[in-house]
Chains A and B, each alone.
Chain A
Amino acid sequence: MGTLIKQEFYKLFHKTGTWIAIGIMVGLQIAFAIIRMANPDLFTLGDLVTSDFMGGGLVIFLAVAATASIVAQEFQFGTMKQLLYRKYYRSQVFVSKVITMVLYLVFLQVIATAVTVVLSVTTGKYDWLKVVGKHANWETYSISVIGFFLVSLLLLSVVLLLSTLLKSNAAAVATGIVGYFLMYIASGILIALIAKWEFVKWSPFTFLMVGSQLSSESVSKVTQLSTPVMVIGSLAYTALFTVIAYLSFRKRSV
């Protein structure tokens, strides 16, 4: 399994696009830090830190793009046979790809966080230890990162499922990114329906709010679910979509 994961990272980090995208993310974070220095009234430093100097949005985009292509590219390039005729099984190949994507998400978040920390203390005087409300700033940031992570995992499991159904890399990436927006739009609509039909709260779209609810308990009035249930539910849906993705992957002919 270790060899398979290493091979997945080898492929990922030998794509020029991977490094360009990371460069763009860091560049965007630096650009927003400079914009704030020039116009301090435009954003508060606290808001920029919470959003990783706007890099947080790009983390999920990059992860969606990488997840969409990690399976589809093997079918497009005809390399799936090479992965499967060795001593490894389909399940191992699939799991190695899932683990690679989770680690890649962590890697991107670590970069975004590191740049955020550096920018927050160099371009402003952000006090990470200052207590605002119930939590210190670093605790609030950590909770938002955990929430972001849970939402990202749920989204990536759906994208992975879509990518096992598509043969073209580009189609999988486009579907993943479009799906990302559609899920948020659908989530907004369905949340509005929960007030009318309570059972709707159990739809996977509700669990996209887990990040918001972790940061603010008041969101539970909208979702009508407690925070622990939201956390467990989002992980359960992530597992469910991943299993369906595996079943779809297993059935694909090579």
Chain B
Amino acid sequence: MSTVLTVDHLDKSFGSKQVLHGVDFFVEEGHVAGLVGPNGAGKSTIMKAILGLIPVNGGGVEITGQKVSITSHQALRKVGALIEYPGIYPFLTGQQHLELFADKHNKAANIKEIVDALGMGTYINRKAKLYSLGMKQKLGIAQALVNQPKLVILDEPMNGLDPQAVKDLRDIIRKMAANGTSFLISSHILSELEKVADDVLILNHGHIVRETGMAELAHDGGVTYEITTGNLDQAKAALATANVAFTQNGMNLVIKDNEEVGTLNQALYALVQHGVAITAVDQKTRDLEASFLDMVQKDKKEA
């Protein structure tokens, strides 16, 4: 698998304020990378630097091995993007927007495919000045994807989209990624990003504080199990007798898994031995939101 995007020690200042500090990451072919961070962390600045829209103070960007800067745009030939908000000409229809920006090759077919995939067929021939926020957002996404790019940069793509549109977008991203397109997506809707991203980059105060796979992030701090029983007091006594550490969450007992000693097995064995009815066992992994909040909090303390 080859690397499509490399961001190498990127520094950026606006006046005396440094907003990016040696930002370093890469995105592999066919991978979806989620970029998360609090407001003002530098997400949009990174995306603008990748697209050669702003000069940087240090470091560099490469797309498929070619350098990108404010004076070097050749590598952007196969890149699609939606940054901050969709730019819309109010006097053009949605169809005309796509015709304006679509490459000649397979133009009609590519436009039809993305219009159908995003469910824009009913209003694509209306003037864009009549579009709602969500319709404009879809048009911005369609413009980014219409040329079947190798790399797609999407800044808050779920803004203003209804649940069906969010699902449609997720399906499109997964399908394109399966065909080799790489994505860098920032979003505040972490639950949605979690469903689509393979890798996650957590950014805070212009630093990447964590770069990891989504699966690894979910297992940060181990897995816990919530056990629901027919008799809470009897269950607590059984676990105490068997020396199994637990906490309580409402009417459930929470066991932190430790594969070396098989904590879950020990707990279940103790409950069965003491005749406690087990009605449910629920595996809990940490979600992106919890990990994100922990990272930001930890970074704040360290700072």
Contacts and interface: CB of A to CB of B under 8 A. Distances in A.
Contacts of A90: 70
B228 interface: no
Contacts of A82: 87, 101, 143
Interface stretch (A73-81, A155-163, A219-227): A73-81
A92 to B, nearest CB: 9
Interface stretch (A7-15, A35-43, A60-68, A102-110): A7-15
Given A85-B51, A88-B73, A15 B91 contact: yes
B140 to A, nearest CB: 9
Contact of B87 (A11, A16, A80, A253): A80
A79 B52 contact: no
B74 A87 contact: yes
A212 B101 CA distance: 43
Nearest to A6: B100
B81 interface: yes
A254 interface: yes
B101 A14 contact: no
A15 B100 CA distance: 14
A254 B53 contact: yes
B71 A89 contact: yes
Interface residues of A, number: 23
Contacts of B143: 82
B76 A77 contact: no
Interface in A98-141: none
B246 interface: no
Nearest to A10: B100
A68 to B, nearest CB: 16
B64 interface: no
Interface string B10-40: 0000000000000000000000000000000
A56 to B, nearest CB: 27
Interface in B66-118: 70-71, 73-74, 76-77, 79, 81, 83-92, 96, 99-101
A84 interface: yes
B54 interface: yes
A16 B91 CA distance: 8
Given A7-B100, A10-B100, A84 B88 contact: no
A14 B90 CA distance: 11
Contacts of B84: 78, 81
B87 A78 contact: yes
A7 B90 CA distance: 16
Interface string B47-58: 010011110000
Given A77-B87, A85-B79, A253 B54 contact: yes
A10 B89 CA distance: 12
Given A79-B88, A80-B87, A254-B53, A86 B76 contact: yes
A254 B45 CA distance: 11
B63 to A, nearest CB: 11
Nearest to A73: B89
Contacts of A78: 84-88
Contacts of A88: 73
Contacts of A16: 91
Contacts of A85: 51-53, 76, 79, 81, 83
Given A11-B100, A15-B91, A16-B91, A81 B53 contact: yes
Between A16, A80, A86, the greatest number of chain B beta carbons within 10 A of the residue's beta carbon is seen for A86
A80 B89 CA distance: 11
A14 B89 CA distance: 10
Contact of B96 (A14, A73, A79, A86): A14
24 contacts: A10-B100, A11-B92, A14-B91, A16-B91, A73-B89, A74-B87, A77-B87, A77-B90, A78-B84, A78-B85, A78-B86, A78-B87, A82-B101, A82-B143, A85-B76, A85-B79, A85-B83, A86-B73, A87-B73, A87-B74, A87-B76, A87-B77, A89-B71, A89-B73
Interface of B: 48, 51-54, 70-71, 73-74, 76-77, 79, 81, 83-92, 96, 99-101, 143
Interface of A: 7, 10-11, 14-16, 73-74, 77-82, 84-90, 253-254
Given A11-B92, A87-B74, 17 more contacts: A7-B100, A10-B99, A11-B100, A74-B87, A77-B88, A77-B89, A77-B90, A79-B88, A81-B84, A85-B52, A85-B53, A85-B79, A85-B83, A89-B71, A90-B70, A254-B48, A254-B53
